[in-house]
Structure 1
Amino acid sequence: MSLKISLNFGGGAELLVDKIKKHNIELPALIKYLPDCQKEKWTIRELLLWIKDNLLKERPELFMQGESVRPGILVLVNDADWELCGELEYELQANDNIMFISTLHGG
């Protein structure tokens, strides 16, 4: 069974995903991003890899650093700071709203 969630990008982060602020996505039931195993629960760790492969149109280094988001990108899970939810290990639930807000501004 697939997992439906919505992704929101703001504060300039939307420029990296074709200037589209809201994406309603459906993730496949089986995760293939982990080479040594396949599992059925999506975490933000796998979601970030999916975003990198499917939504980022340019300069992925401005969004990701290693397996996580770059410093300066605020991540909210259902309007709560992802640090309160377990960050990369948070298991996505149906109808979750994940928001990425860039706090970095040129000058």
Structure 2
Amino acid sequence: MTTTTITTKSVRIEFGGGLELLFANQKSHKVDLPGTMVDGKPTNVHDLILWLRDNLLKEREELFLDKNTVRPGILVLINDTDWELEGEGDYVVQNNDEIVFISTLHGG
């Protein structure tokens, strides 16, 4: 008999460059994510982005998301490394990761 243990991953989320305004004006969040998603695959950054949309985003989804990923102009850092070097949305979230979202777009 096989038993499945459901684990969670504690992740620190930071928002900057004005994105914090979309998340109840709170720059820092500590969240517990499921270790695996419904399909049994490990939780990745794409899953995290959708989780943020469903659980923390308070307004103006279109300023954060475009086609279920972050909009162009939003820099994503995973443990201080550009997410492009980590596999972008496919990066498997690890316990105690720090993921930062920074808007590089400014009004004028």
Q: Give the TM-score of the pair, scaled to structure 2.
A: 0.91
1:13-52 superposed matches below 5 A:
13-32=19-38, 38-52=39-53
Structure 2 Cα separation of the partners of residues 99 and 81 of structure 1: 10
- Larger C-alpha radius of gyration, 1 or 2? 2
Deviation beyond 6 Å, 4+ runs, structure 1: none
Gaps of at least 5 residues in structure 2 are 1-6
Gaps of at least 5 residues in structure 1 are 33-37
Structure 2 Cα separation of the partners of residues 88 and 29 of structure 1: 16
State the match for 1:84 in structure 2. 85
Structure 1 Cα separation of the partners of residues 89 and 66 of structure 2: 13
Structure 2 Cα separation of the partners of residues 60 and 53 of structure 1: 10
Q: How many residues align?
A: 102
State the match for 1:35 in structure 2. none
Structure 2 Cα separation of the partners of residues 40 and 24 of structure 1: 22
Structure 2 Cα separation of the partners of residues 29 and 100 of structure 1: 21
**Offset of 1:28 from its aligned partner?**
2.2
Give the residue type in structure 1 aligned to 2:45: I
RMSD: 0.9
Conserved 8 A contact 2:49-2:69: yes
Give the residue type in structure 1 aligned to 2:105: L
Give the residue type in structure 1 aligned to 2:25: K
Structure 1 Cα separation of the partners of residues 42 and 37 of structure 2: 8
Structure 2 Cα separation of the partners of residues 45 and 39 of structure 1: 15
Give the residue type in structure 2 aligned to 1:54: N
Conserved 8 A contact 2:34-2:43: no
**Offset of 1:40 from its aligned partner?**
4.4
Q: Give the TM-score of the pair, scaled to structure 1.
A: 0.91
Structure 1 Cα separation of the partners of residues 36 and 92 of structure 2: 14
- How much identity, in percent, do the aligned residues show? 52
Give the residue type in structure 2 aligned to 1:26: D
